[in-house]
Amino acid sequence: MNNILGIGSDIIEVDRIKKSIDKHGDHFLTRLFSPDEIKYCFEHKHPEIRVAGRFAAKEAVAKALGTGFGKKLQWNDFKILNTSSGKPEVFFQEKILAEMKNVNVLITISHCEKYAVAFALRVS
């Protein structure tokens, strides 16, 4: 049985993300997301909705880890990709895996036209 070591959630307005993409373009996207994440988002009709979902998910993961974003954890230290069935999964860079024990995080992402929300559980 898994033990819950941390929980995180985040909600964001899709319009806020759209404005950031429109204003800052690639600089905004590449600072926060991997090329694979960006590709996934822009394969869909309204990429800003998918970007907002990934943004919320990354915030939720940072909260579940108990670090937030800063010196210990950067936006590109992990990526969120979907399995062939559509399930989102978290993939950490080797340096994070080496620094943190029990770094296994489960996530879920939901979105509509106005909001994206994500929940993350750090489990052992």
The residues annotated as belonging to the active site are: 63, 111
Rounded-to-integer distance, Cα 61 and Cα 75, Å: 10
User: Which are the contacts of 112, defined by CB distance < 8 A and separation ≥ 6?
Assistant: 49
Tokens of 9: 């959630």
